[in-house]
Amino acid sequence: KEEVLRLPGAADSPVPSLSWFQEKLGVTSCPDQSSFEDGPKYVLKPPMGCQGEGIIFAKEIEEGLPFALSDAVAATKANIWASFGGRKPHWVVQKLVDGMVLGGKKFHLRAHVVVLEGEGGSFEFYAHKEYEVRIASLDKDQPYSERGAHITNGAGGSSTRRTFLSPSLEEEFPESRGLPQQLTYFLSAFFSQLSPYLSLLKYREGGEGDEEGEEWDMVVEGLARRKWGLLGLDLMVDVEGRIWLLEVNGRPGVATQENLLGNEGFRDHLVRLVKDIYGLVVERDCGENFVKVGKGAPILKNDERR
């Protein structure tokens, strides 16, 4: 069943992601990636960050199940799940969004949102205003067998461009003008809709063998402990200008060293991001690069939940 979340002012723009858990899988063959006549409807992504590897397209959701099953078997044999720290691996199914283009190429956006403990155990959401842009390596008008044209998170290797929304990018791609403001509005609407349910989130305690302890904790020597978390929200803008939330990453990664070589502008953006997060969490200074997009009631511990 597809759970749909609708946002104010976007009545026909549901969040399009689902998840499959490993124990629910059990079918056999994989769709031919070059056989789509009208185009696929879904994208299936494996559990770990893949830089474009392992992603498949499917006409129907069921077509992707065999791939997820074989992927799970291979990962089990290689003992990959040990790195998950007890978390259940899952494959994400996303509705294929007919995205707008920059210079004829598909792109998606990454928004970094800090979840920060406030007064009385409440928490607040701050979005970093330098939204990342990941642009495909090939023009959109290519068959789906040309993965570099339709996968924006690394299928083109070092040719996949990583940058961020800025005045200089607007000069290069005038169609990107206004996107930062639209994204901030979208995130504010999203967290406004979500906040009544956030107190029901599971409060994760550190368990045996969990070196990190509580997932939200950050301890800096000589400073008070303050709970926080970092979310990476992947977003896409469709051809009609609507914004889609593709997925939420609880432990977002960063670009590989290969992607940073010769890309000083993006590297400097990552340095600013880390400095700004430190300023917000440790020095309690929102600075000029963070904007508050929501707040929520205190998260309930397990014994307080109904």
As a 3-state breakdown, the chain gives helix, strand, coil percent values, each rounded to 5, of: 30, 25, 45
The DSSP element (H or E) to which 111 belongs, if any, is strand 105-117
pLDDT, mean over the chain: 74
Q: Are 93 and 67 in contact (CB under 8 A)?
A: no
Q: Identify the CATH homologous superfamily for domain 98-304.
A: ATP-grasp fold, B domain (3.30.470.20)
Phi-psi region of 51 (alpha: psi -120 to 50; beta: other; left: phi over 0): left
Average pLDDT rounded to a whole number, residues 206-221: 42
Domain ranges of the chain: 17-96, 98-304
Query: What pLDDT does residue 289 have?
Result: 93
Residue 168 DSSP code: H
Residue-wise pLDDT for 280-301, tens only, equals 988 888 889 999 998 876 554 5
Q: Are 7 and 190 in contact (CB under 8 A)?
A: yes
- 81 versus 114: the higher-pLDDT residue is 114
Quick one: which of 129, 125, 63 has its CA closest to 96? 63
Q: Using CA atoms, how far apart are residues 97 and 110, in angstroms rounded to an integer?
A: 16
Q: Using CA atoms, how far apart are residues 132 and 134, in angstroms rounded to an integer?
A: 7
In the numeric block, the tokens 């899988």 are attached to 25
Q: Using CA atoms, how far apart are residues 122 and 78, in angstroms rounded to an integer?
A: 41
Residue-wise pLDDT for 102-153, tens only, equals 999 999 999 999 988 777 767 889 999 999 999 999 999 988 888 888 888 7
